[in-house]
Structure 1
Amino acid sequence: MSTCATASRQLAEPLAGTAATARTWLLVEQPGPWGADALTASHLDPAVGRALDAAAEGTGVRIALIRRPGRHADCHQPGTHRVFAAHTAPGRSWIRTAAIADPAELTRLDLAALGGGEHGGLWEAYDGDPLVFVCTNGKRDRCCALLGRPLAAELAASGAEAWEVTHIGGHRFSPTLFVLPYGYAYGRVTAHGVKDVLEAVRDRRIVTGDCRGRSAWERPAQAAELAVRELTGEEDADAFDVTRTDGTAPHWSVTVAHTDGRTWQVAVEQGAAEPARPESCGRAPGTPARMDVISVTPLRTDVPAEAPAGPRPSRPGAFSPPS
């Protein structure tokens, strides 16, 4: 039986520039089954789900439900919910976490501040292993369940800090996931590949293979930053920032800056992935948008003498690899 993921893989559809956009993630543990629109179709109070969805509009915060890998019986047992708020902007990444009794508490959060990167001392700083969230919601797309759930279970069994997540887009790239604190998403991954990604993140490095982009940026900027990483071989997680994006679809000019002062101008064009293929299982074939990097032009290549060297000092609330 053909699936959207099989078709996308066979057609070698590019991954760069396809990550979900979220400067800040708000992830809420909710065990049990999930519907296609999980915020209002799970054991989470639908009124709370609707309120959170409305409150997040335009804030830069993306909300999703999470659960531990394993069997998910259709029963509701009261208990605490693990929650994570994570900001993914370069140089300012942080994760805050808490265990709450009632998700309705989340409706009182200042989502605009969280989207802007200000946690205001909310909850506790998370400084454990990198967090990996694998999309597994079969009610959104069967590929996410067929390919995502076994991967999530294998990662959890290996000791990774793995969670299942409701929806991060790009079903046809299943199994797909993202990793915090930096917010880079990956597609068509294997357990071995994910372990390499997590090992790199522990060292504050980024693996670009099978990478869809960093969620802090819109799709053209995601593709541009990955192109500069490939060109330079730079692995440091926070080495690059996107300082400017000019243009509108289908043409953009993206400025990517290194912390050492170098800059590049990247021309990105929106193309159509052809031939037609289903963007999700059960849908009619279409030609999804793709981000094509046309050129990468150095604007400044000299490294200032005063450029910082060595590891950056840790920041309050920032991810720190365990010793």
Structure 2
Amino acid sequence: MSTRRNPLAGIAMSGPDDEEKWKESVCSTLTGEQLAGTARGGNVILALEHPRGWGRDILDGEALGAELSQQIKKFIKSHRAQLQFIRQPGRAGQHHEADDLRPLLYISWSAGVGDPAQPVLERMRVDGPESLLELDLSQPGNTPGAERVEHPVLLVCTHGRRDLCCAVWGRPLASDLSEKWPRDYVWETSHTKGHRFAPATMLLPGNYSYGRNAVNSASEILEYAQRGELWLQGNRGRGVWDGPGQVAELAAGRMLHDAGKTVPLAGLQISALESQPGDKRRATREVQDGATGRRWLVELESRPSVMAKGSCGDKPKRVSSWVVLDVQEVLESGR
């Protein structure tokens, strides 16, 4: 069982008032920015157990050394992959398990293989970070030792060296969730993008990002996923789609929810349609329910939104959000 860790652990405090000063730079409670459309993109996610020493950015050379970091950067870029460091919540997560010192690796095929409705999650032990370079990421099952994981995994960003608010809000959430779920369901993770929505979480294997979730709603994410359903509250979108696609999927999902229908997990597929040529502020996405064949056309527009900080302590800048203008269900003739 994990034990709670000080959310400010590892943050330099030089005076008696410093613990209060973090509030001046923490930005997760200072924005009214729209959540939908802000998920970090990625078709394949590698989540490697690395308990300590994440640095500010996990591939900046501090954690793995400059040479290996550069090799891994090239490898994951060539496979359109994304790397996360993970560890167990609380102080227990600062050390590997005594029975096997080899780190765990999750391979999340979030876009599926030929079918985005069928994401796949695999898990294996590796000798170390250098083992990432030996992975066969052409399709699931190609890497010896990788076995299927049949339950969802929730990653909670706690990367305080990157953004302070992730430690302040993420560590308590991860600790509380670890008391309610088996140890391999919930992990602390490195930067997932979206610190300003802390606590920020990522659901595997579908690659859905969430923000501003309390422990009860974060548990609902896992409970719904266990049943093959999508939890909408705090949902920022599915990272296999672009920004307009993420917003369009959630808009169609809310229509299903409001009609009393089940919103399928990874079951709504997105196609980009040509909008007004040359107008990058407008977009049209078709959303299709793979199980029922129902389709919706979603018209969107990119609009200036609130002032937000790119990182804790940065000066705020104006951000843009994709806003739904119209959603129309496409009815087949005779229906």
Q: State TM-score, norm by structure 2.
A: 0.81
Deviation at 1:45, TM superposition (A): 4.3
- Alignment match, 2:105: 83
Deviation at 1:73, TM superposition (A): 5.9
CA contact (8 A) 1:40 1:47 kept: no
- Alignment match, 1:100: 126
> What's the secondary structure of 2:84's corresponding residue?
strand
- Alignment match, 2:331: 300
CA contact (8 A) 1:39 1:65 kept: no
Deviation at 1:236, TM superposition (A): 1.6
Letter in 1 for 2:176: E
- Alignment match, 1:270: 302
> What's the secondary structure of 2:177's corresponding residue?
helix
Distance 1:249 1:280 in 2: 26
CA contact (8 A) 1:271 1:292 kept: yes
Q: Aligned runs of 1:1-323 on 2, under 5 Å? A: 1-2=23-24, 3-8=26-31, 12-71=32-91, 79-89=101-111, 90-111=116-137, 113=138, 118-122=139-143, 123-160=145-182, 161-233=185-257, 234-246=262-274, 249-259=280-290, 260-274=292-306, 276-300=307-331
Deviation at 1:177, TM superposition (A): 0.5
> What's the secondary structure of 2:318's corresponding residue?
coil
CA contact (8 A) 2:49 2:105 kept: yes
Q: What is the RMSD of the two structures over their aligned residues, measured on CA atoms?
A: 2.4
Deviation at 1:237, TM superposition (A): 1.2
Distance 2:273 2:329 in 1: 16
Letter in 1 for 2:156: V
CA distance 1:230–1:101, change in 2 (3 Å): same
Distance 1:302 1:103 in 2: 55
CA distance 1:73–1:162, change in 2 (3 Å): closer
CA distance 1:32–1:293, change in 2 (3 Å): same
Distance 1:135 1:193 in 2: 16
CA contact (8 A) 2:136 2:142 kept: no
- Alignment match, 1:319: none
Distance 1:209 1:224 in 2: 15
Deviation at 1:294, TM superposition (A): 1.1
Distance 1:302 1:134 in 2: 46
- Alignment match, 1:317: none
CA contact (8 A) 1:262 1:303 kept: no
Deviation at 1:93, TM superposition (A): 0.7
Letter in 1 for 2:187: W
Deviation at 1:240, TM superposition (A): 1.0
Q: Deviations over 1:116-142 (max 9, x none)?
A: xx2243233333432110111111110
Distance 2:174 2:53 in 1: 16
Letter in 2 for 1:184: Y
Letter in 2 for 1:24: V
Deviation at 1:278, TM superposition (A): 2.3
- Alignment match, 2:16: none
Deviates more, 1:45-54 or 1:220-229: 45-54
Q: Deviations over 1:195-248 (max 9, x none)?
A: 111111100001111100111111110000000011122412143101335457
The runs of 5 or more residues in structure 1 that have no matched partner are 305-323
CA distance 1:200–1:52, change in 2 (3 Å): same
CA distance 1:230–1:48, change in 2 (3 Å): same
Distance 2:85 2:199 in 1: 17
Distance 2:289 2:94 in 1: 48
Distance 1:229 1:303 in 2: 24
Letter in 1 for 2:40: A
CA contact (8 A) 1:136 1:164 kept: yes
Aligned residue pairs total 294
CA contact (8 A) 2:58 2:190 kept: yes
Letter in 2 for 1:54: K
